[in-house]
């Protein structure tokens, strides 16, 4: 669905250089700190910026060559951009109806009602949760093959975040050939949604792994410094030394469970993984 090879884009003080692949029927998460390069990658995928180098193919075409019909197959929600705040949902329905031939007005109206979104109020009167829900509802309203969502849950409370994640799960269940690329810095949101995760930092992909592997095989080890010194470190990905102990991220927690009974082995969450990889050493 998306193939990126050596995508390069430079801004003052920032260089992006990433490669990634998103297969049909998968949900892929792009995680990283603010300013890591998530939005720049997404903008390049959407054709909003011109890359300085590398190749991008989205649904078999370069984003710069997208026709209107190609764009109809894209559902997009951006964290910092959306419909004019002066419009209301009725206005948006009229616009979407004219823009997308597959716009499913009945379902869109029904979902907006379910989420208690008012149809006649301008968006400027919406709460941030309501605005975020509307963005996602609009993105999934026209049977897009590919959803590209940049921080769709940013700044929302846990209930609003769950609502959005539920909408995305339902969207995938409707047609398994669809794909989603979702970026977030709240990685716990992505654990129950994504098939695989790319971690980006300082404009580079530093980790790509299946979510099941991260949650099943990865682990967090806690031990004393002496234990750490004598330990086999072949499956250690990152470590962090505190005054009293050492915390490590491993890609093979079973190995340490079997061979180092004194070491505390915990399941890893993506958030812990980020803290250890990006904040380690």
Interacting residue ranges for other proteins, rule: CB under 8 A: 43, 46-50, 67-69, 71-72, 74, 76, 78, 80-87, 91, 94-96, 98-100, 148
CB of 223 to other proteins, least distance (A): 47
Residue 50 or 241 having the CB closest to other proteins: 50
CB of 135 to other proteins, least distance (A): 8
Q: CA separation (Å) from 155 to 130, 134, 151, 172, 184?
A: 12, 15, 9, 24, 11
CB of 80 to other proteins, least distance (A): 5
CB of 56 to other proteins, least distance (A): 15
Residue 75 or 219 having the CB closest to other proteins: 75
Q: Which two tokens stand for residue 93?
A: 């329905």
Q: CA separation (Å) from 48 to 62, 119, 142, 148?
A: 12, 30, 21, 13
Residue 262 CA from chain centroid, whole number:
36
Residue 86 or 244 having the CB closest to other proteins: 86
Q: Are 3 and 154 in contact (CB under 8 A)?
A: no
Q: Tell me how far apart the alpha carbons of residues 219 and 215 are, in angstroms, rounded to a whole number.
A: 8
Residue 168 or 276 having the CB closest to other proteins: 168
* Rounded (5°) CA angle 169-200-41: 75
CB of 185 to other proteins, least distance (A): 19
Q: Tell me how far apart the alpha carbons of residues 32 and 200 are, in angstroms, rounded to a whole number.
A: 5
Residue 45 or 249 having the CB closest to other proteins: 45
Q: Tell me how far apart the alpha carbons of residues 194 and 111 are, in angstroms, rounded to a whole number.
A: 23
CB of 67 to other proteins, least distance (A): 8
Residue 62 or 229 having the CB closest to other proteins: 62
């Amino acid at each position: 669905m998306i193939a990126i090879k050596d995508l390069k884009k430079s801004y003052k003080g920032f260089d992006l250089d990433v490669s990634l692949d998103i297969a049909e029927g998968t949900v892929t998460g792009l995680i990283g700190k603010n300013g890591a390069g998530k939005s720049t990658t997404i903008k390049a995928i959407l054709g909003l910026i011109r890359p300085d180098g590398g190749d991008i193919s989205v649904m078999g075409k370069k984003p710069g060559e997208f026709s209107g019909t190609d764009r109809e197959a894209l559902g997009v929600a951006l964290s910092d951009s959306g419909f004019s705040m002066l419009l209301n949902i009725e206005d948006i329905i009229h616009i979407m109806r004219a823009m997308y031939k597959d716009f499913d007005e009945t379902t869109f109206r029904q979902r907006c009602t379910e989420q208690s979104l008012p149809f006649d109020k301008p968006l400027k009167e919406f709460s941030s949760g309501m605005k975020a829900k509307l963005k996602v509802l609009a993105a999934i309203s026209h049977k897009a093959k590919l959803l590209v969502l940049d921080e769709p849950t940013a700044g929302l409370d846990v209930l609003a975040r769950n609502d959005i994640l539920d909408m995305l799960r339902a969207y995938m269940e409707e047609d398994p050939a669809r794909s989603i690329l979702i970026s977030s810095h709240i990685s716990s949101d992505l654990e129950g949604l994504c098939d695989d995760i790319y971690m980006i930092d300082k404009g580079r992909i530093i980790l790509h792994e299946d979510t099941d592997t991260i949650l099943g095989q990865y682990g967090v080890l806690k031990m004393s410094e002496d234990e750490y010194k004598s330990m086999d470190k072949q499956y250690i990905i990152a470590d962090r030394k505190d005054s009293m102990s050492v915390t490590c991220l491993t890609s093979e927690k079973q190995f340490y469970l079997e061979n180092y009974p004194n070491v505390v082995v915990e399941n890893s969450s993506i958030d812990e993984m980020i803290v250890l990889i990006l904040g380690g050493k």
